[in-house]
Amino acid sequence: MNRAKYDGVVACVPVTVPYVRHSIRGAHWFLARALRELIATAGLAKSDVDGLCVSSFSLAPDTAVGLTQHLGMSPRWLDHIPMGGASGIVALRRAARAVQAGDADVVACLAGDTNHVESFRLMLGNFSQFARDAVYPYGAGGPNASFAFLTAAYMRTYGATREDFGHLCVAQRQNALAFPHALMKKPLTLDAYLAARAVAAPIHLFDCVMPCAGAEAFLVMTADRAKRLGLPGVRILGTIERHNAFPEDPIQLRGGWAMDIDDLYAQAGVGPEDIDFLQTYDDYPVISLMQIEDLGFCAKGDGPAFVRRHTFTNDGSFPMNTSGGQLSVGQAGAAGGYLGLVEALRQLTGRPLGSTVPDARIGLVSGFGMINYDRGLCSGAVVLADTSSTTGSKPRAPDTGSTAAVRAGP
Amino acid sequence: MSQDTLAAFANALATGSIRVVDLTQTLSPAFPQITLPPEFGQCWPFRIEEVSHYDERGPGWYWNNFSCGEHTGTHFDAPIHWVSGRHLPNNAVDTIPVEHFIGPACVIDCSKEAAADADFLLTVPFVEAWEARHGRIPPRAWVLMRTDWSKRTDPVAYQNFDATGQHTPGPDADVVRFLVEQRDVIGFGTEAIGTDAGQGYHLRPPYPCHSIMHGAGRYGLQCLANLDQLPPTGAVIFAAPLKIEQGSGSPLRVLAMVSER
Amino acid sequence: MSLPRPPKKNPILRTRAPTTPPGGRSRVALGLTTAAALGRLELQVCRDCGTVQYPPREACHACLSERLRWTAQDGAGELIADTVLTHSNDLYFRERLPWRLGMVRLDAGPSVVAHVHGDVGDAPARVRVGARLDRAGQAVLVAFPEQETKDMADDRQLREMTCDPQYRKVLVTDGKTPTGQAVVRALVDAGADLVWVGHAEPWKQYAGFDAIAGLHAVTPVPLDLTDSRAVSSLAAQIGGKVDIVVNTAEHHRTFGIGDRRGLDAARAEMDINYFGLLRLAQDFGPALKARAADGDTGACAWVNVLSVYALANFPAHGTFSASKAAAYSLAQCLRAEMRASGVRVVNVFPGPVDDEWNQLVPPPKLAPSALASAIVKALRDGVEDVFPGEVAQDWLARWRDDPKALERELSL
């Protein structure tokens, strides 16, 4: 099976509507600001945007459909992607195909949420039918409880320690200190991480993201159009998407990436050794470890050892979550599924808002979303490249210690 | 003449030379009702439910609904109550001539005897002895058997059940026959829960006061109180039951008028 | 660890308002509650491919068949991960932290999220999952130790789902019947702190009452459910202390329509069986609801002794059946009104009890002591609907299978 490439299409104009802990605004306000900044930056009229893709939890009862009227748009291509942390990747691959096929010329991809004081609590009880029936009545711990199970099982199975997770959190905080939109402004030490109060053991305070309000956005258009508009773009080398992978696993120790990484790297024409930085979906650090393994950067179960070998900082080895990730920036609802992608666009166009990953040409962005019952159902990943690199194959290997067994799933 | 009599009566009431004595027990859910074996139909006890109490059910007024049997609390028995009186004319509370509701009363004090024996039965000799002291019972008089049973405020003592049934005083068969046939009384009244004794079922005929008294078109009053405040003779009692169509009896207010000499 | 006797209440402190855990469920998930109400664990099993499903769903996740049937499960499984919540987004749990829960891989297939009993060891550990009703009246899964442990019922989390009479104060509304007396004895044996026993028409003497009244924990109180003022008056005296109401008061005659003229028997049945419950609920309900979070042994349950005849009319006892059907309906209303407080309404549906009014009903008949044991067990297990004895179980099975067929069988 030959999958069509994403030639001729670029993602561009990374936009962040600054995050705030709580807001009295509605989701529409954040999405409107994102769209306004997209067209202002791109030098487009609103009517030039003929494709719209929206992800938001707090937009309800509206969907992308209602948003068109709210914002006075008449797109000829419209999508609403309720996939939480996988939304950005799924939005990108769908928008890219639409542009490639000529169904739309310019697609605005928006993700954002407001966060009222009570929003998070109200969302938890009705997140899904399974959550309402079979999770929320058990202590109403929300995702903390669900990820406590996964974290505990992962630790027991693969020997990860709290220090391993702490190492990731501390590194991401260091990356975040330079990122102006990060809600977390203070350095984090491993001691402080370890001393934090338990929330749902083994999940402790700094393992949790802070829910907040904000939005992330980008545009998808043809490379030619981006060039005419003078917009630096990013090429899409390959994408994958998978839902409800490995349903027979009694508890989630791996995600859908493990089913699809061969396809991803084959499309992209690169291997894990070619990746200059990784943006994981980091709602909890255990999920980052799972992605490192399932995306082939080390063998399954070697995540803890891998973590101990790298710094994960932008100036060190294996730069990861280069703006600080959700753990340090905050989780603005569905925008959390865009955070890494928007940051990757900035790094690959050489315009980071924070610190720079040196010589970043190829980045991998991963998404993970929707704890419907006991596990995240949606996973996706995209390999992106700057427009100057002509191919994915580059003789660089950021992790020479683990490339031998990278492709194997458990 | 009658106008003068009534005026004198009203004056006597106003001046207190006639004293009015309430012979009635308060209608209360706690007051016991007659108890039959469970397989029979039962007389309802007095029950009361609030309709409103200056509240959302009626902001400016207070009132109740109550329910009870015809034979609840201090009550009147009409001849139709008993099978022996079922075919008599004017035998129900709505058809009894109203003159019968007012009449003189002879009060026979059996309180010492009842205190000594809960199953005490009033007999002809006992009545004759009373007549020897207080004179012959006049025709169309109520005969009231004072036992002080009404002073038993504990329902358990008032009902006085044991495994053989109820033990309360009442008349024997001969004295009922005597009062009807020889003295032409208008009715018989007691302080206990029936006009018949608690063990009256074992007399011949069973329940003689009901059977003979009602069979002769006479009346009954039971659950009376304050008989100790009445003179042996000379009181006039007012005992008018509710006008219930084909009613066998009814709770009522029984008042006695007594001359203060 | 055995539960110590709770200290006396500090009268200076506010009695906390009751809260309940999240009670929202999809309709399909209510099948779990249906079984848990009877003390059973049932999960959906596909009738076409045999796959056990959880969480409850509308179609088989293996073969897409919609023929899913709720089927009894043994609940055997392995705790594969657990956590202790020290934070919750819900008021009820927030007040009860820390709270242990875990994921159990059932031997039957699915992984389930469950409350975890304190005596279960660290994961991985073998467990037995059961279904219980929580304070919202909804089914939840609980992972128990595989083997019975000492004082298992005293687990702090488990007690949130049960109504153990130990150390509680109970009102039994009629102590004169064999059932009432057996219930009093069973509650005393179960460690109830105090049992008030209703005593209607005190002049009527019934065998056994004096013996009950003489028990150390027992206090007779005047209570006639036909007397609104008496019910109100008693509620005013003791309503604020009652933790469990067991309504044993019953009027039972053995008539249908044609074999008893008039209404007196039927009305007496309604007056106690239906209106009596209504009077009791209006006067004792509010204080019970208000005290549903009053410490470890606060108000927790309301037990109605109904009859299996409430489900379908037994014509030989026709008016009695009707009064019990009315009472059952009212008990459902009571349950709904109690729900917000978490006070459990337990409906007990015995078949014929071996007493005076079932003299002519052929055996098997339920011994009053067996009925009493079933009531105490229901309180301890936290179940909501109890069908004690063979006849009740038989009727229940027939009624659930086909109510119309049962009606026709009973009319023969």
Active-site residue flag, B81: yes
Which chain C residues are Cβ-neighbours of A199 within 8 angstroms? 85-87
Is the pLDDT reported for residue A393 higher than 80? no
Across the interface, of A156, A199, A247, the residue whose CB is closest to C87 is A199
Q: What's the pLDDT at B201?
A: 95
Q: In a mutagenesis test of the C interface, which of A120, A123, A133 is the best target, namely the one with the most C β-carbons within 10 Å?
A: A133
CATH code of the domain containing B88: 3.50.30.50
Query: Does A401 reside within a domain?
Result: no
Query: Does A21 reside within a domain?
Result: yes
Q: What's the pLDDT at A399?
A: 45
pLDDT category at A118 given cuts 50, 70, 90 is: confident
Residue pLDDT, tens place only, C253-283: 999 999 999 999 999 999 999 999 999 999 9
Q: Which structure tokens are listed for A393?
A: 């194959």
Query: Does A84 reside within a domain?
Result: yes
Query: Does A389 reside within a domain?
Result: no
Chains B/A: 3 or more C-beta pairs closer than 8 A? no
C-beta separation of C376 from C364 below 8 A: no
Query: Does A29 reside within a domain?
Result: yes
Q: Which DSSP string corresponds to A164-185?
A: HHHHHHHHHHHHHTT-TT-S--
DSSP code for C296? T
Quote the mean pLDDT of chain C.
95
pLDDT category at C11 given cuts 50, 70, 90 is: confident
Coil, helix or strand for A407? coil
Residue pLDDT, tens place only, B82-109: 999 999 999 999 999 999 999 999 999 9
Phi, psi of A331 (to 5 degrees): -115, 100
Q: Which DSSP string corresponds to C52-93?
A: EESS--SS-TTT--S-EEEEE---EEEEEEEEEES--SSHHH
Angle at alpha carbon of residue B92, lines to B234 and B159, rounded to 5°: 65
Across the interface, of C204, C226, C268, the residue whose CB is closest to B35 is C204
Q: Does C303 touch chain A (CB under 8 A)?
A: no
Is the pLDDT reported for residue A410 higher than 70? no
Query: Does A343 reside within a domain?
Result: no
C-beta separation of A136 from C22 below 8 A: yes
Q: Which structure tokens are listed for C368?
A: 């009053």
As a whole number, mean pLDDT of residues A130-135 equals 95
Instruction: Place domain C169-410 in its CATH homologous superfamily.
Output: NAD(P)-binding Rossmann-like Domain (3.40.50.720)
Phi, psi of C348 (to 5 degrees): -110, 130
Is the pLDDT reported for residue C19 higher than 60? yes
Q: Does C136 touch chain A (CB under 8 A)?
A: yes
Across the interface, of C24, C26, C85, the residue whose CB is closest to A145 is C85
Q: What's the pLDDT at A278?
A: 98
Q: Is A405 left (phi over 0), alpha (psi -120 to 50) or beta?
A: alpha
Q: Pick the closest to residue B166 from B14, B5, B35 (CA basis).
A: B35
d(CA A133, CA A135): 6
Half-sphere exposure of C117 (CA within 13 A, CB side): 29
pLDDT category at A395 given cuts 50, 70, 90 is: very low
Which chain C residues are Cβ-neighbours of B48 within 8 angstroms? 228-229
Q: Which structure tokens are listed for A299?
A: 């063998």
As a whole number, mean pLDDT of residues C320-349 equals 97
Q: What's the pLDDT at A397?
A: 42
Coil, helix or strand for A402? coil
Radius of gyration over every alpha carbon of chain C, rounded to an integer in angstroms: 22
Coil, helix or strand for B57? coil
Residue pLDDT, tens place only, C76-107: 999 999 999 999 999 999 999 999 999 999 99
CB contact under 8 A, A138 and C114: yes
Coil, helix or strand for B154? coil
Q: What's the pLDDT at A121?
A: 77
Kind and range of the H or E run holding A82 = none
Q: What's the pLDDT at A391?
A: 52
DSSP code for A53? E
CATH code of the domain containing A21: 3.40.47.10
Distance of CA C7 to the CA centre of its chain: 26
Q: Which structure tokens are listed for C369?
A: 């002591």
Q: Is B251 left (phi over 0), alpha (psi -120 to 50) or beta?
A: beta
Q: Which structure tokens are listed for A285?
A: 């650090």
Is the pLDDT reported for residue A400 higher than 60? no
Coil, helix or strand for C151? coil
Q: What's the pLDDT at C4?
A: 85
| Active-site pick, B71, B81, B210, B214 | B81
Q: Does B29 touch chain C (CB under 8 A)?
A: yes
CB contact under 8 A, A137 and C138: yes
Q: Pick the closest to residue A325 from A312, A309, A307 (CA basis).
A: A312
Q: Pick the closest to residue A295 from A326, A255, A346, A329 (CA basis).
A: A255
d(CA C201, CA C174): 11
Residues on A contacting C at a C-beta cutoff of 8 Å: 120-121, 124-126, 129-130, 132-142, 144-145, 148-150, 152-153, 156, 197-203, 247, 250-251, 373-374
Is the pLDDT reported for residue A389 higher than 70? no
Is the pLDDT reported for residue A9 higher than 70? yes
> Which sequence spans correspond to the domains of chain C?
30-159, 169-410
Is the pLDDT reported for residue A331 higher than 70? yes
Q: What's the pLDDT at B147?
A: 98
Closest residue in chain C to residue A126, using alpha carbons only:
C24
Query: Does A146 reside within a domain?
Result: no
Beta strand spans in A260-360 (E): 277-279
Q: Pick the closest to residue C209 from B156, B41, B42, B34 (CA basis).
A: B156
Is the pLDDT reported for residue C323 higher than 70? yes
Angle between helix C178-189 and helix C368-381 axes, rounded to 10 deg: 40
Residue pLDDT, tens place only, B57-88: 999 999 999 999 999 999 999 999 999 999 99
Number of structural domains found in chain B: 1
CB contact under 8 A, A251 and C114: no
How many H helices and E strands in chain C? 12, 15
Residue pLDDT, tens place only, C162-214: 999 999 999 999 999 999 999 999 999 999 999 999 999 999 988 899 999 99
Q: What's the pLDDT at B2?
A: 60
d(CA A183, CA A82): 25
| pTM for the full predicted model | 0.91
CB contact under 8 A, C83 and A132: no
d(CA C68, CA C49): 10
Parent domain of B184: 21-42+70-259
Parent domain of A52: 9-118+213-218
Burial C326-352 (b: 16+ CB within 10 A, else e): bbbebbeebbeebbebbbbbbbbbbbb
Q: What's the pLDDT at C227?
A: 96
Which partners does chain A have (≥3 C-beta pairs < 8 Å)? C
Number of structural domains found in chain A: 1
pLDDT category at C1 given cuts 50, 70, 90 is: low
As a whole number, mean pLDDT of residues C381-397 equals 95
Q: What's the pLDDT at C162?
A: 95
Is the pLDDT reported for residue A396 higher than 70? no
Q: Pick the closest to residue C371 from C246, C272, C252 (CA basis).
A: C246
C-beta separation of A238 from A267 below 8 A: yes
As beta bridge partners, residue A221 has: A10
Q: Does C115 touch chain A (CB under 8 A)?
A: yes
d(CA C193, CA C183): 14
Quote the mean pLDDT of chain A.
93
